[in-house]
A and B are shown apart, each in its own frame.
Chain A
Amino acid sequence: MILSRLLRRLPMLLAVVVTAATLNFALPKLAPKNPVETKLLEMAEQGGSLTDISGLIRSYEERFGLDQPVIVQYFSYLKGLATFDLGYSLAFYPTRVADLILKALPWTIGLLLTSTLIAFVIGLLFGALIAWNRAPRLARVIAPGVMALAALPYYLLGLALTYVFAFIWQIFPLGGGYSLMALPSWSWAFALDVFYHSLLPALSIVLASIGTWALTTRGLMVTVQGEDYMVYAEANGLSERRRFLHYGLRNVMLPQVTALALHLGHIAAGAVLVERVFNYPGVGMLLFRAIEQSDYFVIYGVVYIVVLMIAIAMLIVDLIYPLLDPRIRAEARQ
């Protein structure tokens, strides 16, 4: 059952990953001047360590087989990506792009996974609550404020939070993944330091996405409340708690889990800028530095890996979904 579902979803996600890879391959070639070659030429002219540069150019030509026809170049490029051969960083040659990303990835995944899950749970509960006929007054009062947060991109909220908590009140650090003085180690003190530094970035993602989830959940909950089974549950004198949790929220959860999968790309893109605002040492900051230095292989590598991670996450959500919805379960059995 899981296998058949997997087989059905895989082509779509494969198409997404290949599309991202193809764009990475094609866009520089379509540009009036190939940006990668321009950059290499620039570096060669500036001199510096000439030996390194020539090695870099050689590896670039080898990797893309520039004397080969475009279609051959394309497939050897795809083959490289499939084996996580993302080439070398232009700015930090001979560091491999894959190594740079590998170092940054845990920071981003840790930040995004926790803040997205927290925001999803709180947003769902809050949205469902304010749509409920007899919502607590407090929820109704703060609702418009929470909804307005949905309009703001994470980084803007991040800047505002930094301004208040790190600049004026100075109770949180201005940025970074850990203190300048701290040495990365597997110790409680360091873990606490990391946690302390991740609070503001996480809070800006959580606050901004709670609004989005609450808003959509409210709409869905209003619809669900009009469903026959909600009216019937009330006509049967079921308790308010049961109707809210097991009849209302339980059914609203289904489309929202699907929405979570579709939103992952949006969330990841938003996180890139949050990391920039907080100088957080994840892939977003890596991407920003690469843009500053026109380090094209790092840009393409990060984009490719992020798309790949999103595809994998979507697949996981997709495999969890049948556990929540008996209708899909039955469909998969057939």
Chain B
Amino acid sequence: MLGNDIVDLQLAAKQSNWRRKGYLQKIFTEQEQDLIADAENQDQMVWLLWSMKEAAYKIVNIEIGERFYRPKSFECIPNFSEHLIKGKATYEDLELDTVSELNENFANTTATSEQNRKLEHYLLNNPNTYIEDFNKNSFQFRLVKNEANLPTIQDILTEEYGPASVSHHGRYVSIVHPSQFEPV
């Protein structure tokens, strides 16, 4: 299972004032608040952790089949030793792996419950035409919405369908799906 989340840092700076009193305490654990306090770039750290929580939430939401707003219950630990930030997101007894990209423009995280599954990532720029844009540029995969209006990927050669996760915010659309998938 997989889930992703992208934060456009330019839009986030306009939409949210995370410095307001009580904001960080409501959504981040003490350990995460320490990471933010110690970060060289606090804005980037806030939105990195937030994208990790949202990506992990998407998996838990599908697993338990229920929506909820409990960001503080996702404990997120990014590991900055590599170019791509690998991390962990833990919700109750469920531990998920995350991989994030962080720069001055965006924080983009994919969470997965299957550690070694190879994934395909795409970053597009137009929220209104991303499906057509994706399909124009992909030889192997086709992005479609299923009956429940959820994004699904189809392998053009095998005609099998697999899961896809799409997130958009501001200037960006982030798409992720497994490189290979079994018949569903």
A is bound by B: no
Contacts from A to B (Cβ < 8 Å)? none
